[in-house]
Amino acid sequence: MVTTSDRLAWGVVGTGDISHAVCSDLVRLGTATVRAVCSRDVARADAFGAAYGAERVYGDLDRMLADEGVDIVYIGTPHATHHPIALAALRAGKHVLIEKPIGIDADEARAVADAARRSGRFVMEAMWMKFAPAYRELVRSVEGGAIGQVRSIRASFGLPFDSAGSTRWSTARASSTLLDQGIYPVTLALDLLGAPSRILSHRTVRADGVDLTTRATFEYSGGRFADLSASMVEYIDPTASVSGTDGWVDVPAPFWATTGFTTHAGSIPEALGSPTATQYETDGNGYVPMLRAVAEAIAQGATEHPVHSLDASIQTFTVLDRVRSDARTIRAA
């Protein structure tokens, strides 16, 4: 479908904050255009479309998916809708970028991956952290032995978000601190240590099933571990650190959107007194590298991106499901 122009035409589903942030970066690329926007609230869709130069506004998803001028669909709607909208977009022959999480469990992740592979279209979960230059250099540096063998990871994403009446707190929308915030610490652990052999987890859950906090320890062979936490009702230091046999790396807040990190390595005096800072310039809201990578992959005829493949999304969800199923659950007051 996408060979007629060097400007990829995007259709955006959802007009919330995340869609605004992504589209603000999208229009910076120079190789993309916001062709259409879809929302049940047509007034919001009109305002959103005007902000990003969309040619068409839709109040009905099927009508937007029938728009032959749309090459790729970005899904920026609540968690519970990601899977069904992705499947509908694939049936319509569109490429798809799905805001994380790709679904609400591993079964939905597999279903999207299966449909994507049958369709021959490009599909990816929008795990933008993995495309950020600082994060990619962090992984490269650690895997290259900058701090020796990785022994442990600590990562947290705890911020007190909106009031209990906000859209973040909805069973129908599959609201979840594990899926919204916890996916980032889990991704870091998987990237550097792989899948754990054992998971110990605790969750605070409301009576309606919305999880508010999650703490997990991933255990690995040889005594290696990752301590991870997430919350949408309290602050938990939103930084990360990776420790190894020859040093450690500090990643400042917010670690999932970092533009730099500090490496402490060598002898004890060197590690404590002579750290090395790595820093990159901010590129828009942080989504530009991912959006550029998506556009390049589609232009090359790829159906997945090696930085974040569909199998990687499935692996992440397999672990997230284990965190939930194995957790000691505390009922919120």
Which residues does the annotation mark as catalytic?
100
Q: Give the rounded distance of the alpha carbon of 214 from its chain centre.
A: 17
Q: What is the chain's length? A: 333
Q: Are strands 72-75 and 95-99 parallel, antiparallel or unpaired?
A: parallel
Is residue 122 a contact partner of residue 297, using CB atoms and an 8 Å limit?
yes
Please report, for residues 79, 121, 204, 209, 220, the alpha-carbon distance to residue 294 in angstroms, rounded to integers and kept in the order given. Answer: 21, 12, 36, 35, 33
The structure tokens listed for 227 are 């301590």
Is residue 225 a contact partner of residue 155, using CB atoms and an 8 Å limit?
no
Q: Give the rounded distance of the alpha carbon of 147 from its chain centre.
A: 26
DSSP-derived letter for residue 280 is -
Is residue 161 a contact partner of residue 184, using CB atoms and an 8 Å limit?
no
Residue 260 CB neighbours (<10 A): 16
Gap between the terminal Cα atoms of the chain = 52
The structure tokens listed for 79 are 């968690």
Beta bridge partners of 201: 216
Report the C-alpha gap between 196 and 178 in whole angstroms. 17
Is residue 48 a contact partner of residue 54, using CB atoms and an 8 Å limit?
yes
Report the C-alpha gap between 322 and 313 in whole angstroms. 14
Is residue 112 a contact partner of residue 123, using CB atoms and an 8 Å limit?
yes
